[in-house]
Chains A and B, each alone.
Chain A
Amino acid sequence: MTRLPALLAAAAALALAMPATAQDFAITHATVALGDGSEPIANATVVVRGGKVAAVGTGIAVPQGVEQIDGTGKWVTPGLFSALTDLGLYDVDAVEQSRDVSADKAIFSAALDIAPVVNPLAQNIKVSRAGGVTRASVFPRSGNAIFAGQGAVIDLGSDSEPVVKPRAFQYVELGEGGGALAGGSRTAAYVTFRNALAEAQDLAGRNGRNDDALLNRPDAAALIAVVEGRQPLYVHVERAADILAVLKLRQDFPKLDLILAGASEGWMVAKEIAAAKVPVIANALNDLPAQFEQLAATQSNVGRLHKAGVKVAIGRFFDMNQPRYAPQQAGNLVALTKLPGASGLSWGEAFAAISSIPAEISGMPGMSVLKPGATGDVVIWNGDPLELSSAPICVFVDGVEQPLESHQTKLRDRYRTPQEGALPKAYEW
């Protein structure tokens, strides 16, 4: 027995207006953000049919037989895309047994594959879904080698199949962390990196694996797709000089499909990043010299990169930086537009930086965007989604309405009044 608070009751009422596995619905009279960088549209309609977005905009007639949801006073957006997360990789971050984030004692590195271990029932997935996150990339963190392994794209739907795209990318550390992992210096990280790609090339070539190979076969095999440009390579670096060094790797490995992760000092070399057409997944609000490799960190990094023409997403939601914070961070970048000397993003650009842009960078165009043919990931919010006072009231993944309950909501309902009643709290569930 659970006493439904007002919000849940309202959401439940909204849900009842639709079939249980509602595939076809239309939300009308809402403020709609497409997620493509454009500004929100007032009094617009979103139609979802067969799990896909069918139509969006003003002056759209709701097709016959499609359930209609009145969105008056509400905002409608695509679901958020959270780039570089640890979703589904732990129950409690600091409880080692529950944690698959990094394999510190493994003999494998590049071959590690996150896809089979993502747990769709983890609380961090439920909590993030309730925060409007519908898609994410999940990645392994480097344990004892510069190559962390292969990440996947997932959806946050309440079903048993979270993985949308396994082995979507490889992840490597080439900054301070890479130097430490490779033996104490960035020099070792670069030799390790070059050797690994060379061994992958050997393995793929006619001569096969050399007798003196340093990589084990699975790791070398995993890097073939990277060196051949068939699998994107995410490189974590922060320092401006490190970014330039990474861009130069293409001189020797021309097919590398590079994506920069971190890049706190990216604004200092924004032109070079833009010219190399390398996208960036950055923290939005890093502004401290947390390490020597990010002395020039500033909240204006994303805005300045964007202004220089770099495709830049807000991401790196792991550890304490959880995916549901994305709207707040995007909102902060909008606030920067009023701060003299700072660079921020317009509202539409900021929302795109947590929806369609990370989706595109992750190789998933047509996700986290409201346009005909896009996946039916839709969130109805009770207000401006970037504002602190707002929250999702309905979340759809592939057109299917999602439960928003979690361990947290159950605790909240149990302790709405802290005192015990006729029986201990343990009987209230």
Chain B
Amino acid sequence: MRRSKAAIGAALAGALALAGCGGETGRVGIASAKPAPAPSDSSTKAEAKDQPYPSTYRPYPGTPTALVGATIYDGKGGRIDKGTVLFSEGKVVAVGDALLAIPESYSRIDGTGKFVTPGVIDIHSHLGDYPSPAVAAHEDGNEMTDPTTPQVWAEHSVWPQDPGFTRALANGGVTALQILPGSGNLMGGRSVTLKNVPSRTVQGMKFPGAPYSLKMACGENPKRVYGSQGRSPMTRMGNFAVNRKTWLDAKKYAAGDRKERDLAMETLAGVLDGEILVQNHCYRADEMALVLDMAKEMGYKVTAFHHAVESYKIADLLRQANVCSAVWADWYGFKMEAYDAIPENAALIQQAGACVIIHSDDENGIQRLNQEAAKAQAAGKHIGIDIPDAQVVGWFTLNPAKAMGIDKQTGSLETGKMADVVLWNGNPLSVYSRPEKVWIDGALMFDALDPQRRPVSDFELGQPGEGDVK
């Protein structure tokens, strides 16, 4: 496993490199599929006006499909045995039990003995910004030239050909993910939320209508990066001072006429307006508590603390503040601020009634978010906290969707939502299960039983192992 860029970064390296044969006809089946219908003019104009790099993603064609006979976890805590999921035209049409009527035009897929969940969602990824291969030329996730860089946008770094996207799809059932700038800066820049669909351009992956987030970071990383250069911040108190000064500047900008373009201030004003969410890398409980007060002082809301390994110490405060904790199952001891991480963290947060999200921050971990959630569930069970499977599935579906502001569109299997669906060949909380089929907006984008439905990035063409099962 490669060292996580954002979690550890330069700590060990001591440097500033933070880290964060089908023949010619082989692909005809997919390539010749009809393109999606052109979008309506109104939506194009609206996006172009508000967003200079608008999403050009349009769902790929799918066939009306009925998944029958599987155990369904709907993502919002519900479970249906021998259930039926209907989707068509990219949307979930109905979810029900075996009695649900299936229109004749639907093709049936027998899911007996299998499981269905919403598409897996990762709220914390650096795919594309720190792509594979992890060579220096690919380090595009940390603009470590100033402790606050709210003006940078992660989408301008995303390399759509990162093979990691394909692994996340095929092995992890990931259908949507948020790409965050790294944690070298206090304010790292804007995130981008993507549909996990291969594309020539990042615009072709952008999740339509997803809000932006601002990435912020507490603790060791920013103070190390700048302190080691003899610059502020050099300490945790310096971290807060720089943040507060920047927020005061932003409040002044936001209160003005905002006519002069200022990329950094536009992002921060968006946060103060409540239109841009805040994803805050923060390990320690005491620092999270301070950040909550800073948010009150400056008039913004923290949406989620990421890498929140000490949330269990203040789970009650986090519930009161209505802030999610995006956590690993059991990463431990790799840096000082992870010394008090415990595997029961997620279960203890859940027990306190606060929001749990399982995140990856890792190109390998993103392939097994379901397994990480299962480990966190098990750790809770061993101390008497029994969290049902159906609720645990929400940790990697609906809860991240909520904290990314896309829960109206995806994250659960409900009528009218995007048909982002995974058919697993067994219980997704078992180590023995794998995604069998993955649909994104109703289009079959991965099929373990069909080598043609396995994306191969440009980078891997003509290379050893091209098109392998991986």
Give the docked Cα–Cα distance between A115 and B445 (Å).
Answer: 51
Answer whether residue B135 sits at the interface, using C-beta atoms and an 8 A cutoff. Answer: yes
Answer whether residue B75 sits at the interface, using C-beta atoms and an 8 A cutoff. Answer: no
Instruction: For A334, list chain B residues within 8 Å (CB).
Output: 431-432
Give the docked Cα–Cα distance between A103 and B445 (Å).
Answer: 47
Q: Which residues 320-338 in B have Cβ within 8 Å of A in the complex?
A: 330-336, 338
**A299 touching B352, Cβ below 8 Å:** no
The stretch of B271-279, B370-378, B409-417 that contacts the partner chain:
B370-378
**A408 touching B464, Cβ below 8 Å:** no
Answer whether residue B449 sits at the interface, using C-beta atoms and an 8 A cutoff. Answer: yes
Of the candidates A291, A331, A408, the one whose C-beta lies within 8 Å of that of B332 is: A408
**A292 touching B133, Cβ below 8 Å:** yes
Across the interface, name the chain A residue whose C-beta is closest to B341: A408
**B335 touching A92, Cβ below 8 Å:** yes
Answer whether residue B344 sits at the interface, using C-beta atoms and an 8 A cutoff. Answer: yes
The stretch of B101-109, B210-218, B379-387 that contacts the partner chain:
B379-387
Of the candidates B134, B313, B335, the one whose C-beta lies within 8 Å of that of A94 is: B335
**A94 touching B336, Cβ below 8 Å:** yes
Of the candidates A292, A300, A412, the one whose C-beta lies within 8 Å of that of B342 is: A412
Q: In the assembled complex, how far is the CB of residue B188 from the closest CB belonging to chain A, in whole angstroms?
A: 19
Interface bits B380-413 vs A (CB < 8 Å: 1, else 0): 0111100000000000000000000000000000
**A339 touching B334, Cβ below 8 Å:** no
Q: In the assembled complex, how far is the CB of residue A333 from the closest CB belonging to chain B, in whole angstroms?
A: 10
Give the docked Cα–Cα distance between A390 and B315 (Å).
Answer: 26
The stretch of B4-12, B80-88, B149-157, B199-207 that contacts the partner chain:
B4-12
Give the docked Cα–Cα distance between A316 and B106 (Å).
Answer: 48
Q: In the assembled complex, how far is the CB of residue B227 from the closest CB belonging to chain A, in whole angstroms?
A: 15
Interface bits B423-450 vs A (CB < 8 Å: 1, else 0): 0010001111110000000000000110
Answer whether residue B26 sits at the interface, using C-beta atoms and an 8 A cutoff. Answer: no
Known: A95-B336, A287-B171, A320-B334. A340 touches B134 (CB 8 A): no
**A408 touching B343, Cβ below 8 Å:** yes
Known: A291-B134, A416-B383. A408 touches B342 (CB 8 A): yes
Q: Which residues 3-58 in B have Cβ within 8 Å of A in the complex?
A: 3-4, 8, 11-12
Instruction: For B4, list chain A residues within 8 Å (CB).
Output: 320
**A418 touching B374, Cβ below 8 Å:** no
Give the docked Cα–Cα distance between A297 and B468 (Å).
Answer: 9
Of the candidates B312, B335, B382, the one whose C-beta lies within 8 Å of that of A415 is: B312
Interface bits B174-211 vs A (CB < 8 Å: 1, else 0): 00000000000000000000000000000000000000
**A328 touching B371, Cβ below 8 Å:** yes
**A92 touching B429, Cβ below 8 Å:** no
Answer whether residue B229 sits at the interface, using C-beta atoms and an 8 A cutoff. Answer: no
Give the docked Cα–Cα distance between A320 and B132 (Å).
Answer: 18
Q: In the assembled complex, how far is the CB of residue A311 from the closest CB belonging to chain B, in whole angstroms?
A: 23
Q: In the assembled complex, how far is the CB of residue B261 from the closest CB belonging to chain A, in whole angstroms?
A: 39
Answer whether residue A17 sits at the interface, using C-beta atoms and an 8 A cutoff. Answer: no
Across the interface, name the chain A residue whose C-beta is closest to B2: A290
Most chain B beta-carbon neighbours within 10 Å: one of A321, A338, A382? A338
Instruction: For A300, list chain B residues within 8 Å (CB).
Output: 468-469
Q: In the assembled complex, how far is the CB of residue B100 from the closest CB belonging to chain A, in whole angstroms?
A: 28
**A319 touching B382, Cβ below 8 Å:** no
User: Could you say which interface size class chain B belongs to?
Assistant: 35 or more
Answer whether residue B340 sits at the interface, using C-beta atoms and an 8 A cutoff. Answer: yes
Q: In the assembled complex, how far is the CB of residue B159 from the closest CB belonging to chain A, in whole angstroms?
A: 13
**B384 touching A6, Cβ below 8 Å:** yes
Answer whether residue B163 sits at the interface, using C-beta atoms and an 8 A cutoff. Answer: yes
Across the interface, name the chain B residue whose C-beta is closest to A316: B1
**A298 touching B468, Cβ below 8 Å:** yes
Instruction: For A94, list chain B residues within 8 Å (CB).
Output: 8, 11-12, 334-336
Instruction: For B141, list chain A residues within 8 Å (CB).
Output: none
Give the docked Cα–Cα distance between A320 and B365 (Å).
Answer: 11
**A92 touching B132, Cβ below 8 Å:** no
**B1 touching A342, Cβ below 8 Å:** no
Q: In the assembled complex, how far is the CB of residue B456 from the closest CB belonging to chain A, in whole angstroms?
A: 12
Instruction: For A338, list chain B residues within 8 Å (CB).
Output: 425, 432, 434
Give the docked Cα–Cα distance between A391 and B22 (Å).
Answer: 45
Known: A92-B333, A289-B459, A328-B375. A386 touches B464 (CB 8 A): no
Answer whether residue A168 sits at the interface, using C-beta atoms and an 8 A cutoff. Answer: no
Q: In the assembled complex, how far is the CB of residue B367 from the closest CB belonging to chain A, in whole angstroms?
A: 8
**B464 touching A296, Cβ below 8 Å:** yes
**A296 touching B468, Cβ below 8 Å:** yes
Answer whether residue B359 sits at the interface, using C-beta atoms and an 8 A cutoff. Answer: no
**A322 touching B434, Cβ below 8 Å:** no
**B460 touching A289, Cβ below 8 Å:** yes
Give the docked Cα–Cα distance between A177 and B151 (Å).
Answer: 36
**B1 touching A319, Cβ below 8 Å:** yes
Answer whether residue B234 sits at the interface, using C-beta atoms and an 8 A cutoff. Answer: no
Answer whether residue A21 sits at the interface, using C-beta atoms and an 8 A cutoff. Answer: no
Q: In the assembled complex, how far is the CB of residue B400 from the closest CB belonging to chain A, in whole angstroms?
A: 20
Instruction: For B422, list chain A residues within 8 Å (CB).
Output: none
Answer whether residue B363 sits at the interface, using C-beta atoms and an 8 A cutoff. Answer: yes
Answer whether residue A240 sits at the interface, using C-beta atoms and an 8 A cutoff. Answer: yes
Q: In the assembled complex, how far is the CB of residue A262 from the closest CB belonging to chain B, in whole angstroms?
A: 13
Known: A94-B11, A290-B2, A412-B344. A299 touches B383 (CB 8 A): no
Q: What are 7 A-B pairs at a CB distance below 8 A?
A: A92-B334, A93-B333, A93-B334, A287-B364, A298-B469, A319-B1, A320-B362
List chain B positions with a Cβ less than 8 A from chain A: 1-4, 8, 11-12, 132-135, 163-164, 167, 171, 312-316, 330-336, 338-344, 348, 352, 362-364, 367-368, 371, 374-375, 377-379, 381-384, 425, 429-434, 448-449, 451, 459-460, 463-465, 468-470
